[in-house]
Structure 1
Amino acid sequence: MTGLTYSLDLTVVWAVIIAFGIFAYVVMDGFDLGIGILFPGFEVGAERDAAMNSIAPVWDGNETWLVLGGGGLFAAFPLAYAIILPATYPLVIAMLLGLVFRGVAFEFRWRDPVHRRWWDRAFMLGSLVAAIAQGMMLGAILQGIRVVGRAFAGGWLDWLTPFTVLTGISVAVGYGLLGATWLIGKTDGPAQAHARRMARMLSIATVVAMAAVSVATPFLSYDYWRRWFAMPGVLLTAQVPLLVVVITGILFWSIARGRHKLPFLAALALFLLGYVGLGISIFPYVVPRAITIWAAAAPAQSQLFMLVGTVVIIPIIIGYTGWAYWVFRGKVGEGYH
């Protein structure tokens, strides 16, 4: 019995670690993907250069968390990895190709100015494809994956439904909001005013998208409905939409009052509340309504072995990431470094 309890505790610890890694990736890589999505709306020249410079020191480091989330899922929950990937292979491939296009375009737009407009288009397209693919993967997992005998038993296009299209568009819109609010804090003058106008429109679009996904999700499964609306649990879960209303008010107020950092922090808070809502809907499943985290977990000995390295590596990642953000704090543009 002691060994069983020990194993269950390790499983929960690893679920928290992977959830943290995925959220860190979403919020950190989300704003630079958002800048890519919004890129065609920036003026050619100084405004686009300022947007690129605002993420130049950190964009590639942000993707460290994607490696942690995906690698951690493979190592700690191999059964979930073996089910989710075959169910979403086209989306995973699209996401990785989008990230490759974005990374190559980011570097070559400076080194090949003759074709800069094409690299800018590749940067936008790669960012948009990666964002939509990530959102559709989330929707595919939420709506459920057909599992028979501990293996994926669905079709090649099961991931393509109206709900996954909704979640894909919603994530892209939300990333756009993160990008716009990031630029509010990193730019001045006309570029900041432009970012503020974009953030105002994207705030409305993001709230509408969150509401649409929130309304649609309980209809996917009675289990989702029960978690959100059955008594007495509703007394706790109702705090999430209430906090969304409060944070939304802060977001609109901070944009209207000309705040520099608060809009980005409020946008991050909206993403955090959405992530909490996702956790309420699916926990303790890693493949909703099919595989729990305990059923998908690697042996306790393997989890413990990996945990020893993880408790060393994660603080190092957080440390050098924080140092990079600190060194390159402040505004970009003329007169700033």
Structure 2
Amino acid sequence: MGIDLPLLWAVIIGFGLMMYVIMDGFDLGIGILFPFVKDRTDRDTMVNTVAPVWDGNETWLVLGGAGLLAAFPIAYSIVLSAMYLPIIAMLLGLILRGVAFEFRFKADEAHKPVWDKAFAGGSYMATFSQGVVLGSFINGFQVENHVYSGGAFDWLTPFAIFSGLGLIVAYALLGATWLILKTEGALLERMRELAKPIVLALLATIAIVSLWTPLSHPEIATRWFSFPNIVFFSPVPILVVIAAVALLWAIARDTHAMPFLLALGLVFLGYSGLVISLWPNIVPPSISIWDAASPPQSLGFTLVGALFTIPFILFYTAWAYHVFRGKVKAGEGYH
């Protein structure tokens, strides 16, 4: 039996997107939390916790997009055609926060608040746009003969808008728990205060999405509650509750790494629920990974490059986080 190249590429792209959500999620979450922290020194410390790694985190987004183009060009063309406007908004948000990231350290006192607002605004724009894309992906796309046949604003639905708001909550939690891990003193305590209501808001968001999705999409309800999928899916809501309770407990205690690890666990559980809901379709509701895949020769050729590149990305990412491990104190870091 030969290697199932479309399946292998789906795993690679899924892994890349998950790494992006994890690593750029807390990065964007710091910008989302900016309006809730007024002290300039604390804001500088927040940014300094990700200064050495923030641009490398976005490597995974590039990997996911390039992998989708190389391995599943049909899916790439449909998704990009349907999501053109929110994807452009996401890229503009990432550019805005990237420029603000650099300029806020160089600006004089009169202009620093402008760049702080730009950093926060870019973070909200990028995160909300990603959530809209996610919600639209669950809703599915209107396709005829493997070509997108819908309108430019078909993505603008209540479910997609709610998904955008929900992702802001999820990234805010990642940002708050990351800062619990990386900061100390008054800023750490402020993050503990913020993290508790964010956990409850995320639980409410997960509950609403978990009800809304099967009620709006009978095919997803069938996938959830049919055998054997129900065997794989049934532990997920239980694990979500356990992880949330443990997270609230860890936030209330003098722990530093555990809240961040549990927040990552919550995000991973949500991601696993998404995979179960859509599998094996890469373009919902009906185009599978095998239908959208490139020819085997192309998949095999590009796989060689991916298997060569990904270990290097993992290595330099792990090395960067190792070198810049530990707490970040006020006045230290990026200059």
TM range (shorter): over 0.9
The equivalences for 1:9-88 within 5 A come to 9-88=4-83
Q: 1:334, CA displacement in angstroms?
A: 4.3
Q: Is the 8 A contact 1:76 1:298 kept in 2?
A: yes
Tell me the equivalent position of 1:214: 210
CA contact (8 A) 2:29 2:171 kept: yes
Question: How much has 1:230 moved relative to structure 2?
Answer: 3.0
Aligned: 1:245 with 2:249: no
In 1, the alpha carbon distance for the partners of 2:249 and 2:314 equals 31
5+ residue gaps in structure 1? none
Match of 1:303 among 293, 299, 302: 299
Alignment of 1:273-288 (within 5 A): 273-288=269-284
AA of the residue aligned to 2:20:
Y
Percent of aligned positions that are identical: 52
Please report the TM-score for the alignment, with normalisation by the length of structure 1.
0.96
Kindly provide the amino acid, as one letter, of the partner of residue 212 in structure 2. Answer: A
Question: Cα distance, 1:234 vs. partner?
Answer: 2.2
Separation in structure 2 between the aligned mates of residue 232 and residue 18 of structure 1, nearest angstrom: 24
Change (3 A) 1:144 1:67: same
Measured after TM superposition, the shift of residue 231 of structure 1 is 4.6
The letter of the residue matching 2:118 is A
CA-CA distance at 1:45 after TM superposition:
1.8
The separation in 2 between residues aligned to 1:85 and 1:248, in whole angstroms, is 35
Q: Counterpart in 1 of 2:150?
A: 154
1:252 partner letter:
L
State which of 175, 178, 184 in structure 1 corresponds to 2:174: 178
Question: Structure 1: how far apart are the matches of 2:38 and 2:86?
Answer: 31
8 Å contact kept, 2:229–2:276: no
- TM-score normalized by structure 2? 0.97
The 5 Å alignment of 1:115-264 reads 115-231=111-227, 233-264=229-260
1:259 counterpart SS class:
coil
Deviations 1:81-135 (CA, angstroms, capped at 9, x unpaired): 0000110111000000000000000000011134110000000000000000000
Shift of 1:214: 1.2
**Residue identity in the other structure for 1:276:** S
Match of 2:316 among 310, 315, 320: 320
Report how far residue 228 of structure 1 moved. Answer: 1.5
Shift of 1:229: 2.0
- CA deviation profile, 1:223-246 (whole Å, cap 9, x unmatched): 110122235542331111111111
Which of 264, 267, 288 is 1:268 aligned to?
264
> Relative contact order: is structure 1 or structure 2 higher (C-alpha 8 Å, sep ≥ 6)?
2
Write the letter of the residue equivalent to 2:283.
V
Residues of 1 paired with 2:295 and 2:120: CA distance? 42
CA distance in 2, matches of 1:294, 1:212: 32
**Alpha-carbon shift at residue 46 of structure 1 (Å):** 1.2
Number of aligned residue pairs: give it: 332
Matched-pair contact (CA < 8 Å) for 2:45–2:331: no
Contact 2:41 2:331 in 1 (8 A): no
Query: Partners in 2 of 1:93 and 1:22 — Cα distance?
Result: 18
The question of whether the paired residues in 1 share the 8 Å contact of 2:133 and 2:160 is answered with yes
3-state SS in 2 of match to 1:66: helix
